[in-house]
Structure 1
Amino acid sequence: MKIGIFFGGPSREREISFAGGRTVYDNLDKSLFEAVPVFVDSRGNFIQLNWEYIYKGTIRDFYPPVSALPPVTLPVQMYFESLGELSLEEQDRIISEVGRRIQPQELSSLMDFAFLALHGPAGEDGAIQGLLEWYGIPYSGSGILPSAFGIDKIAQKKLLKALNRPTPDFRLITAEEWDVADAQATLDYLVRELGLPLVFKAPRQGSSIGVSILREADVAKFATAVERSLFRKTVTQQEWQALSEEKKTMWLQQLVDIREGIGLPVVIENEELGMKNEGLAAADNSSFIIYQPEELLNALNERLQTVGAVRLTSVEGETQVLVESFVQGREFSCIVVEDPDGKALALPPTEIVKGEEMFDYRSKYLPGLSRKVTPIDLPEAEIQRIREACEEMFRTFGFQVYARLDGFIVSGQEGKEVGVQKGSDSTPALLPAHHPTLYLNDPNTTSGMLPASFFFHQAAEIGLNPSQFLTYLIRTSLAARRRAGLRPVKLAGLLAQLDAAVAARASEERTRTKVAVIMGGYSSERHISVESGRNIYEKLSSSIKYEPVPVFLTGSSQEFRLYVLPINVMLKDNADDIREKVEHMEAGHGLHPILERIRREASAITSTYAGQPTAQPRRVSFEELAGMVDEVFIALHGRPGEDGALQRELEKFGLPYNGSGVESSSITINKFETNRRLREAGLRVAEHRMASRLEWEADPEGFYRSLETQFPYPFIAKPADDGCSSAVKKIKNRQELEAFTRLIFRDQLDLTPAEATTLSLGFKEEFPQKDAFLVETLIDRDGAAHFLEVTGGLLTHWTDAGELQVEVFEASEALATGEVLSLEEKFLAGEGQNITPARYAADLTERQRVSEEVKKELGRVAEILNIQGYARIDAFVRVRQNGAVEVIIIEVNSLPGMTPATCIFHQTALAGYTPYDFIDRILEFGKQRTEKAAAVQ
């Protein structure tokens, strides 16, 4: 069956849609389905995307292609809409570089079924559903009417009120009202009617986009919250002129972020404040649309010299703001699916555990930024109440196939404080104080589809891996469309065909190579390691050749503890959640009773689609592991994994593994030793030295002065033996040096707030404890004509003569939004900005000449350090006016990140390797190396 996967789209959630579409593309059962990737751009064009672009980190990494971009100097990538008004011919030329335009009438000839991974407006609002019904194409999820209802928060609130269901009280502010309103009077009214805190929402957005919480009656913060939901931004002359050029660029990067800023294009107009202050005539207050970041920067610099303030308004903004009473309760999210009989079945609800922070876009999609507990930690009866309420809402709103319902559970006393009403203004909403109140809000007819999102995470609790769950949803969607009257004869045939194929596959006996995928660890990169491991697991599990076995590593450098994981534990949100689940099991706790109940209720699904029952995590020794699997894929980063210790254990039992051997790994984990060896071999590296705790403790002032004498500010400080981007900081002054030193040499686990603030550490950013750290000169342009940061991947092969051959891929250019590249930018979907191949020069011939020189240097690094299997090398490249190329090596990663978004997959795609091909080559190389070693012995 041909499955068209629709992803991307015009909404502010397009990056999560793009990443979710890739997850679906990778996890479709290859024995049942053929995937047809349909990328929807921000103008609504349908594009049959060339497969290699599916593995880019973000949409901006490939679309619009570099050839279509105007010359820019700012490190800000643009979306398609920033190109301005384009003719159809111009759009077609751009589209042809990444795929082929699909006319709507072609869709039915390209696919039997449409899987919708689109989010927000034009994805969840009934628009695409209506188009597909017009052409008679069955699609996933809810139909036109429930989709339209599911996107409209205001309509949902009104229905819940009419049905006497608990929902926070609310008011609306229109953009027109806000433009003429007295802000203080409006705030006073809202506080009087709804109380504090207040919640502000953009009524037709998902994923907490445009959401704010106002905790105090501050009129300036109130205005900011309203603007956020309207996707506006007011900039005053005073605040703009106080920014340095560097800060202006960072401000601009945040503003044009479609998730947390307002995006482009924007309408710019002088604020009335500025006109009054400067005495400008109304005719001078011209407004016009700005499409590009550089154009916006110039406009702000020019206008804010003469006016007091300007207002920027997104052309895709909202016209209303939904203001709600704040619910002080425990937040949860629950996936509801239809069972084979078409009845609503709620999966185990997940609690989102957080402090004062809001569960925003980043918290939802970046591992480790929030804690998710499944099922929510409540008595079984209360969990069942949540499930029943979610099933009721699913039925009431007419949802089909699946939906994600979010809500809060509030104790009676807390509920009284909220002042929420139900029905009419005189009817109290609250149950007695001893009985918690449930508030359901913001249903989603298309859930996020990242590997560990609620969507797959909760399905795993009944024993379905992502591939199996997708198969079930396709089958259920076909049945739902047929019930609704869409081409019943044709869909009956498709259902029969799919059922027969599922039954035949279940009866097949396959002998596949068993691969232990080891993930987790205890370093600051453990969450990224889990993302990498899950991605490897998914790529192998949907293949015919391999049977992956997920293995979680925890413990310490003195003792590695290995656990074979069931699918539901592997798909926990992050490494800490997995470790907690494993420890819970080791403490003798059995399966939660609500999970037993749900698994019984879901048996009609799992008996057909799950293949095998769920199990508990099981601890194994290396010897036991060797008896279970044929080879190992190490998906760990930093220590352990990249330091040779784990490789040494695997070699004891003859287990083939990926990546470099023990000796090479023990060198590349140590950045100081790596740089020393490369410098001795004649390669360029930064000037560097180790700074030890003993030296600092003996004489702190002498320690600081010594560093300042050798390394003028700014310089780089980082751990010498952790993976990339972990606690890498640009040190600009003595205060920051002291803060970095105290943090890395601290005795306690927790970070000290003063030092964390000085170093501008992000929310929940980790910082390792070490006895020494590495200091390096900051590598800068140094007068070069062109200067950029790159990361290059490589793969090794055995020649027929048995010699090692290194294949170096085209490097990616990395654009950092901060002072250094963060973990998220390197590895997580939608976060990084990578351009592959790197833009060494505008002229293609010159670009290729520089690229070959860079690849030659990276190949030399691999040979000097005896890298085997694969690796990623980070470097800076300077291109001088005379054409001379200088490559300065930063570090070598012997087990690079293998998350779906990491740029090594962009590079291998250019060389013709799909991610599965690349992983297969890595495993084959490891197996051949072990065979060679055995032959020598």
Structure 2
Amino acid sequence: MKIGIFFGGPSREREISFAGGRTVYDNLDKALFEAVPVFVDSSGNFILLDWHFIYKGTIRDFYPPTAALPRTERPWQVYLESLGHLSLDEQDRIISEVGRRVQPQELRELMNFAFLALHGPGGEDGAIQGLLEWYGIPYSGSGILPSAFGINKVAQKQLLKALHRPTPDFRVIGTEDWDAADPQATLDYLVRELGLPLVFKAPRQGSSIGISILREANLAQFQAAVERSLFRKTVTRHEWLALTDDKKIQWLQQLVDIRDGIGLPVVLDELSVVGSSLSVNDDLTTDNQQQTTNFLYHPEALLAALNERLQTAESVLLTNVDGEAQVLVESFVQGREFSCIVVEDPNGQPLALPPTEIVKGEEMFDYRSKYLPGLSRKITPIDLPEADIQRIREACEEMFTTFGFQVYARLDGFISPDGQLFLNDPNTTSGMLPASFFFHQAAEIGLNPSQFLTFLIRTSLAARRRGGMQPVRLAGLLAQLDAAVAARASEVRTRTKVAVIMGGYSSERHISVESGRNIFEKLSSSVKYEPVPVFLTGNSDEFRLYVLPINVMLKDNADDIREKVEHMEAGHGLHPILERIRQEAHEITRTFAGQLTAQPRRVSFTELADMVDEVFIALHGRPGEDGALQRELEKFRLPYNGSGVDSSSVTINKFETNRRLREAGLRVAEHRMASRLEWAADAESFYQSLETQFPYPFIAKPADDGCSSAVKKIKTRPELEAFTRLIFRNQEDLMPAEATTLSLGFKEEFPQKDAFLVETLISRDGAAHFLEVTGGLLTHYGPEGELQIEVFEASEALATGEVLSLEEKFLAGEGQNITPARYAPEPQERQRISEEVKQELRRVAEILNIQGYARIDAFVRVRDNGAVEVLIIEVNSLPGMTPATCIFHQTALAGYTPYQFIDQILEFGKQRSERQIVA
């Protein structure tokens, strides 16, 4: 069957939709389905997307393409709407660079079924569902009416109230009422009616976008909360002129962000003026107010407008042209928050999967906490008595039926300390990232992502047929799919067993799990490999290996997996509610999973060697990249990915790597190690020694960790002291004062070490062009057995802060990676510089004897005379393999899909092992 995957879209959740669409594309069972990627841009155009672009980190990395962007002073990354009004011909020219436009009437020829990974308005509101109904194309999820209802939080609240179902009390503020009302009187009214705290929501948004909590009756905070939900922003002359030029850029970048800010385009209204300095276009009113309206599409234009208008106007109001018309204000519910996926069983009846408790470190489960691993915890099932969990499930099943949802939905709610249930914010499309609730809860009944997607496609076909869509044709499709699923289950296929080792105990453990899951999912949907998820924990003296069932592998992060493993090892059996749900889901799992999940099982290296044919190490830092695990695997002649023992033991150490590269004539930063012993002996001499050798600002970082862990630009003595005390601390927790000095983010990892690396800050140094790049490589054996190194086009990494953050590297929709790097505007000159950079990266690989694959980070200076200087920062022998990592952007340019790249890595490891055995 041809499955059209619709992803992207016009909503503020388009980046999560883009990442979710990629998850579906990768996880569709290749033996059953052919994926047809239909990217929907922010103007609603359908684009049959070239597969290379599916693996970009963000939409803005490829669309609109660089050639379509206007020349600006700063390298803004923008969406299509920032190009202003475009004719159809102009849109077609842009579309042709990434794929081809598809007219709605063509869709039926391209696909048998539409899988909707779209979110928010345009995706969950019935609009796309109505179009597909018109053309007779079966689609996933709920139909038109329940979708339209599911996106409207106000309508949901009104129905729940009418049905006397418990839901937080609420009021609705319309824009007209808000503009005419006295803000203080409105605040007093809401506090009187609903109490404090107050929760503010944008009624037609998901992913916690446009949500605020007001804990005290503060008028300024209240007005800001309302504006946040309406996607407005009042900017005063005083606050704008107080910002430096750099701070204005940072402020503006946050303002135009479609998730945290108000986005673009905006309408600018001047609210008041100073004196009588008015332009000829001003509309004067009796109170000397004006309402001159301007549409602004691009950040550069908005920056210029603010600089101009706020010279005279006391304040301006910016309003997103697609903002909300209402604000939903709710009373705050004190309780434990949960989320529950409900699916239809084969008989069309709702079946609630085990509800997940969301344990947050902050008061709000915001966009960052939802999608960045390690920031919040998902506990499945929620830690409550079995009777209470069953009450939650029954309430969710009842809401699913009441709202007329079909196929699946995600229902959120709270359970108060006195046991009262509050359900709110049902979603007819759940986030589809690899570790989202969607796959996380399905794994508890034994379905991996590939199997769950097959189940949803089959269930959606049945729902559309039940709804009257072309019953004869859909009956044929159902029979065809059922036969294919049965044949797939009964096939006896010898597949290569690959242990995917993930986790570890370093600060990079959560990203390692993300990498391992991605590798597992790419291999599990193939016809060649059978992946076996293996979790590594313990310490440097003893590696403990556990074979994981799918439900444990899809826990939220490495710490959750470790706790679950330890829980099982302590003799605790399966939760009774999971036993019950698995029995209820037996008909589903029997057809689509084949067998129920097992418990985590500890294995020795000897047992592992008997179980699998080869190993994919998805660990980062220590252990994994240091050669210790590789040494163990070689004892059992198990092929593995990446470099060998000797090379890994060098590249894990940034100081030793730099030393060897400098000796070989390559450019690296001046560097030295700073030890705990030296600091403990005489702290003042320690600081002075560093300050003498490295003028501020300089870089301080661990010598053997990656993923931007504790990489800091040190600008002052207090920052140096804070960094030193944190990295040399004896306690597990961070010290609050030092964390504040270094502006550490919530739950930011900061390892404990006995030494750290100090480097000079690499700067432009007068170069005409200066950029940070990251380049991937892959090795092969040539016809004569010689090692060949294929270096890919490097990506240009754009950091919004002082160094690349964890979010910019790994959070869907964050980060700016331009592939290939923009070394020069002219194609011929760009390619010349690129070849020089690739030659330097190849030399690094040769000097360090890198094998398999790797990622090398560097700075590049291009001088006025065209001379190219490459300064190496670090080498990663087992680079991150998360879905959006830029190494997949690079391999796509070279013609490798992510699966083909992984296959090449595994094949090289097998060939190397065979050569070693012969030798």
Match of 2:311 among 305, 308, 311: 305
Is 2:818 the partner of 1:835? yes
Alignment map for 1:523-672 (pairs within 5 Å): 523-672=506-655
Shift of 1:842: 0.7
Alpha-carbon distance in 1 for matches of 2:192, 2:123: 37
SS at match of 1:308: strand
What letter corresponds to residue 790 of structure 1 in structure 2? V
Is 2:53 the partner of 1:53? yes
> Equivalent residue for 1:493?
476
Alpha-carbon distance in 1 for matches of 2:312, 2:508: 48
Give deviations 1:893-916, integer Å, cap 9, x for gaps: 000000000000000000000101
SS at match of 2:730: coil
Is 2:390 the partner of 1:384? yes
Match of 2:851 among 853, 856, 868: 868
Shift of 1:277: 9.8
SS at match of 2:381: coil
Alpha-carbon distance in 1 for matches of 2:662, 2:904: 31
Inter-CA distance 762–277: structure 2 relative to 1 (3 Å threshold): farther
Inter-CA distance 288–711: structure 2 relative to 1 (3 Å threshold): same
Is 2:123 the partner of 1:123? yes
Match of 2:358 among 352, 356, 359: 352
> Equivalent residue for 2:760?
777
> Equivalent residue for 2:688?
705
What letter corresponds to residue 501 of structure 1 in structure 2? A
Alpha-carbon distance in 1 for matches of 2:503, 2:161: 46
Instruction: Report if the CA contact (8 A) 1:828-1:899 is conserved.
Output: no
> Equivalent residue for 1:459?
442
Shift of 1:860: 0.5
> Equivalent residue for 1:755?
738
Match of 1:825 among 784, 799, 808: 808
SS at match of 1:149: helix
Inter-CA distance 277–330: structure 2 relative to 1 (3 Å threshold): farther
> Equivalent residue for 1:234?
234
> Equivalent residue for 1:678?
661
> Equivalent residue for 1:108?
108
Alpha-carbon distance in 1 for matches of 2:222, 2:383: 35
Match of 1:814 among 779, 789, 797: 797
> Equivalent residue for 2:827?
844
Is 2:904 the partner of 1:898? no
Shift of 1:411: 2.5
Indicate the percent of aligned positions where both proteins have the same amino acid: 84
What letter corresponds to residue 359 of structure 2 in structure 1? V
Alpha-carbon distance in 2 for matches of 1:33, 1:775: 52
> Equivalent residue for 2:161?
161
Give deviations 1:525-548, integer Å, cap 9, x for gaps: 111100000000011111111100
> Equivalent residue for 1:195?
195
Instruction: Report if the CA contact (8 A) 1:74-1:249 is conserved.
Output: no
> Structure 2: which 5+ residue stretches go unaligned?
285-289
What letter corresponds to residue 642 of structure 2 in structure 1? G
Alpha-carbon distance in 2 for matches of 1:240, 1:735: 29
> Structure 1: which 5+ residue stretches go unaligned?
413-435
Q: Matched residue pairs, number?
A: 912
What letter corresponds to residue 435 of structure 2 in structure 1? A
Inter-CA distance 913–155: structure 2 relative to 1 (3 Å threshold): same
Shift of 1:72: 2.9
Alpha-carbon distance in 1 for matches of 2:685, 2:748: 30
Is 2:316 the partner of 1:316? no
Alpha-carbon distance in 2 for matches of 1:745, 1:520: 24
Give deviations 1:596-629, integer Å, cap 9, x for gaps: 0000000010010002221000001111101110
> Equivalent residue for 1:930?
913
> Equivalent residue for 1:443?
426
User: In angstroms, what is the RMSD of aligned CA positions?
Assistant: 1.1
Shift of 1:278: 7.1
Give deviations 1:635-670, integer Å, cap 9, x for gaps: 001111001111011111111100001111111111
What letter corresponds to residue 79 of structure 1 in structure 2? Y
Alignment map for 1:51-450 (pairs within 5 Å): 51-272=51-272, 274=273, 282=283, 286-412=292-418, 436-450=419-433
> Equivalent residue for 2:287?
none
What letter corresponds to residue 173 of structure 2 in structure 1? I
What letter corresponds to residue 587 of structure 1 in structure 2? A
Give deviations 1:307-349, integer Å, cap 9, x for gaps: 2222211111111100000000100000000000000000000
What letter corresponds to residue 703 of structure 2 in structure 1? A
Instruction: Report if the CA contact (8 A) 2:661-2:667 is conserved.
Output: yes
> Equivalent residue for 2:5?
5
Shift of 1:282: 3.9
What letter corresponds to residue 295 of structure 1 in structure 2? A
Shift of 1:832: 1.7
Alpha-carbon distance in 2 for matches of 1:754, 1:935: 58
Match of 1:805 among 788, 793, 807: 788
Alpha-carbon distance in 1 for matches of 2:114, 2:688: 64
SS at match of 2:313: coil
Deviates more, 1:708-717 or 1:194-203: 708-717
Shift of 1:829: 2.0
Give deviations 1:570-617, integer Å, cap 9, x for gaps: 001111110110010011100000000000000010010002221000
Alpha-carbon distance in 1 for matches of 2:731, 2:300: 45
Instruction: Report if the CA contact (8 A) 1:724-1:893 is conserved.
Output: no
What letter corresponds to residue 497 of structure 2 in structure 1? K
Shift of 1:244: 2.2
Deviates more, 1:628-637 or 1:281-290: 281-290
Shift of 1:264: 1.2
Give deviations 1:92-137, integer Å, cap 9, x for gaps: 0000000010000000011000000000000000000000000000
Instruction: Report if the CA contact (8 A) 2:672-2:758 is conserved.
Output: yes
Alpha-carbon distance in 2 for matches of 1:868, 1:271: 63
Shift of 1:279: 8.1
What letter corresponds to residue 26 of structure 1 in structure 2? D
Give deviations 1:677-704, integer Å, cap 9, x for gaps: 1111111111111111111111111111
SS at match of 2:890: helix
Instruction: Report if the CA contact (8 A) 2:361-2:376 is conserved.
Output: no
> Equivalent residue for 1:908?
891
SS at match of 1:165: coil
Instruction: Report if the CA contact (8 A) 2:354-2:381 is conserved.
Output: yes
> Equivalent residue for 1:418?
none
Instruction: Report if the CA contact (8 A) 2:191-2:217 is conserved.
Output: yes
What letter corresponds to residue 542 of structure 1 in structure 2? S
Give deviations 1:270-291, integer Å, cap 9, x for gaps: 223x457978864565321111
> Equivalent residue for 1:30?
30
SS at match of 2:453: helix
Instruction: Report if the CA contact (8 A) 1:202-1:229 is conserved.
Output: yes
Shift of 1:208: 0.8
Alpha-carbon distance in 1 for matches of 2:168, 2:283: 42
What letter corresponds to residue 756 of structure 1 in structure 2? A
SS at match of 2:602: strand
Shift of 1:709: 1.3
Alpha-carbon distance in 1 for matches of 2:164, 2:275: 49
What letter corresponds to residue 842 of structure 2 in structure 1? G
Alpha-carbon distance in 1 for matches of 2:381, 2:365: 18
Alpha-carbon distance in 2 for matches of 1:928, 1:13: 44
For normalisation by structure 2, the TM-score amounts to 0.98
Inter-CA distance 356–723: structure 2 relative to 1 (3 Å threshold): closer
> Equivalent residue for 1:920?
903
SS at match of 2:23: helix
